[in-house]
Structure 1
Amino acid sequence: MTVVFSLGFRLLLWVLLTGETNRTNLLFGLLVAILLPRAHHHGERVAPLLKAVGQSLVAIPQAYGEAVALIVAGGREHCDETEHRASGTATPLVVFLELLAITLTPFTLVLDLVRVEDAVEGSHHRYRIHRLRPAPRRGQAPTGGRTPQ
């Protein structure tokens, strides 16, 4: 299952890079996807991977909405820095998809991935995120965007 997903994802990236969907390009892209080396992960669970893919797909329309909000703000923006809890299963592919979902948002950068030792939640990773958001209109309280998870 993971091999099929990996090949499909590589082929999708190929199509996005080339912008062509004709038969020759798809066959060449499939050949490149097969020839690229793959990391060998034994026993990798599919559920966290599918969750990360879902978050990445949801992030696309959210990114368009936030881009429109920044355009409408007309130069009134403010910066903030937040933290976002990383997935409990931090395989390289899941981390990549989480980073993709975060950075699809306009003017958002992941600054760091830090390991946090907490007595309540235990040991986990958190992303430090820098964001540019539309500034609140006069008389409104500033919002910090999404709350840290």
Structure 2
Amino acid sequence: MGPAIAMSADVVVTRRVAAPADVVWHVLTDWPAQGAWMPLTRVDVLGPGDGREVGARLEAWTGVGRAGFLDTMVVTAWDPPCRCEVLHTGRLVRGPGVFAVRPLGPRECEVLWEVNRPGMSGDSVPWEGWSHAREYVEEVPG
């Protein structure tokens, strides 16, 4: 297990993926299917639609059974197939986050996953969960 990252630190993960950018974009933003590549996570779209628009509200539960945490968020920017920005509004994770996809060629792209200033009671408390962020993004099917 890697070192804990303080909750006040930004999390930025980039990953090259051997798949077209538009395919990867679709996988990243298929909110209900994120559990296929983000272990122990279930994402629900709150309200009508598929969550692929500004103003969409999402809930992500990460954990097993009742042991885990709820990450609520609102989509604040939507620029397919390049960029999705959210505002995390939960008690544990708060602040802006980004999924961005940059084409590197017809069959390859780079994914950026960024969570800025996640909040937690006692903003400097280390939280082991962020040390696994890279593993989750690397599980995106190519």
TM-score range, shorter chain: under 0.3
Higher relative contact order (CA 8 A, sep 6+): 2
TM-score, normalised relative to structure 1: 0.27
TM-score, normalised relative to structure 2: 0.28
Q: Greater share of strand residues, 1 or 2?
A: 2
